[in-house]
Amino acid sequence: MIKISRLSKNFINNGRSVQIFQDFNLEIAENELLVIFGPSGCGKSTLLNIIGGTEQYAEGVIKGLNNNKSTGYISQRNSLLPWLNVLDNIAFGLKLKGVNKVIRQKKALELLKEMGLVNYSDFYPHQLSGGLAQIISFARSLACKSEFMLMDEPFSSLDFLVRNQLQDIILNIRKKRSLSIVFITHNPDEAIYLGDRIIALSPNKPTGILKEFSTININDKESDDFYKVRRELLACYI
C-alpha cells in the first residue's frame, strides 16, 4: 500500500507562490486501480509526478514506495524512444536494470507474443499508430515487472474505438498480473469503467479531494450504477 500523508507543494508563478497541495492525504491499496479525476490545472499530473518521484515536494511523507525501480510511467504522448525499434523499446527498462541483452530481448518478444504484436517487433515508433504506441509503452512497463503503474491521460489523444480497445487490454492484463495503477483521466466514462476507486479533485487551490467513488463492481457501461456514479461525478464540478 502507498500512503501519502500531509503532502504540501507550491509553485512560483509570476513571482507569486501558488499552493497546489496542503496537508493532502491519499492511500492507494495493493492491486488497486485508482483514478484521479479533475479539471485541467488542478494538480493531477503534479500529484502523479510526486508519486513517481520525478517532482519534488515541500512537506509530507510518502510511504510504501520503497522500490521506485518497479514503477512504470505512461503519458499522453507516447514516450517510446524514436531511435529504438519496438523490441528494444520494450526491453529498455530491463536494459537500465542491467539485464543481459539476450534475456531482455527474449522477455520483450514473449510479451509481444502474449499481446499478439510480434509482427511489429522491428517497427520504429513513427511507424506505429497512436494506440499501438501506447500498448508498447504499457508492455515496456510490464517487461520490467512494474507492480506500480502511473498513467497520465494515456488514451486522451486516441479515437473512441481504440480507446475502448486499450481500456479492455488494461483490464485483461490486470486479471493476469498483480498491478497497482494510478490513472489520470478527464473522461468520466473511462474513469468509472476502469477504476476501482475514483477521487475527484477540487478545481480550487490548494487542491483537495471533493469526493471519492467506489467503482470496483461497476463493469457494465450501460448499468444504472454506472450512470448514477457518472451523474454524481459530474455534479462535483457543476
H or E element at residue 95: helix 92-96
Smallest gap from Cβ 105 to other proteins, in A, equals 16
- Nearest in space to 157 (alpha carbons), one of 123, 134, 182: 134
Q: Which of 19, 25, 31, 53 binds other proteins (CB under 8 A)?
A: 53
What are the cell numbers at 237? 464540478
- Nearest in space to 135 (alpha carbons), one of 146, 144, 125: 125
Per rule CB under 8 A, is residue 215 in the interface with other proteins? no
For other proteins, the closer of residues 138 and 213 by Cβ is 138
- CA distance linking residue 233 with residue 89, whole number of Å: 37
- CA distance linking residue 16 with residue 236, whole number of Å: 28
Sheet with 2-13, strands from edge to edge, namely 16-28, 2-13, 59-63
Smallest gap from Cβ 153 to other proteins, in A, equals 12
Q: Which of 49, 134, 180, 215 binds other proteins (CB under 8 A)?
A: 49
- CA distance linking residue 114 with residue 62, whole number of Å: 34
Judged by CB under 8 A, the chain residues 123 through 182 that form the site for other proteins are: 124-126, 144, 150
Judged by CB under 8 A, the chain residues 26 through 45 that form the site for other proteins are: none
Beta strands in 29-170 (DSSP E): 33-37, 59-63, 71-74, 148-152
For other proteins, the closer of residues 49 and 215 by Cβ is 49
For other proteins, the closer of residues 97 and 228 by Cβ is 97
For other proteins, the closer of residues 71 and 215 by Cβ is 71
For other proteins, the closer of residues 43 and 93 by Cβ is 93
How many residues bind other proteins (CB under 8 A)? The answer is 25
Smallest gap from Cβ 51 to other proteins, in A, equals 10
Q: Which of 19, 31, 54, 223 binds other proteins (CB under 8 A)?
A: 54
Q: Is 5 helix (H, G, I), strand (E, B) or coil?
A: strand
- CA distance linking residue 130 with residue 196, whole number of Å: 26
| Contacts with other proteins, 83-112, as mask; x by CB under 8 A | x--------xx-xxx---------------
Q: Which of 71, 134, 185, 215 binds other proteins (CB under 8 A)?
A: 71
- CA distance linking residue 49 with residue 148, whole number of Å: 13
> What is the binding site for other proteins (CB under 8 A)?
49, 52-54, 68-69, 71-73, 75, 77, 79, 81-83, 92-93, 95-97, 124-126, 144, 150
